[in-house]
Amino acid sequence: MTPDAGAHSFDRPREREAPASMSGHWLSGEPVTIDLTGPTLVVAIKHHCDGCREFVHSPLSEFEGQRVLVVSATDDPEGEWAGSLQPVLVAPDALAALDIRWPPFYVLIDPESRSVVTEGVVFDAAQVARETDRYRRR
């Protein structure tokens, strides 16, 4: 069966405010606060998740010129993300502020309106790129 090219993992985002910054720590333990000054794709990941692993271990060339933050609610005690190409931010409070309850999930944040402009379930990087493309090219 061929997937429907117009299919989306979500029809319409739940209207909600986005934070101006996100605080947490990198997997190394180093604390960080990231100001959300440009359009930002937040990809919430979890352990034992194929789509999540792709966001951690791929170069994410589909998102060239787009800020992508890979965020987890927990550290990586099993070393599943060791050798990752993308930094993983551990920030459970940021996920709660964005009302992301069930990774794998993404939200695209517009910092000017401080809102979530689109969201959906993560299956793979190409799918998320297709679903967010029209918002990234504004």
Hey, what domains does the chain have and what are their CATH numbers?
21-136 (3.40.30.10)
Per-residue pLDDT of the chain (138 residues; tens, 9 = 90+): 344 455 555 556 677 889 999 999 999 999 999 999 999 999 999 999 988 998 999 999 999 888 999 999 999 988 999 999 999 999 999 999 999 989 999 999 998 999 999 999 999 999 999 999 887 655
CA pair distance 120, 125, nearest whole angstrom: 12
CA pair distance 68, 61, nearest whole angstrom: 11
DSSP 3-state assignment of 135? helix
Q: Which residues pair with 26 in a beta bridge?
A: 89
CA angle 34, 126, 20 (to 5 degrees): 20
- What pLDDT score was predicted for residue 3? 47
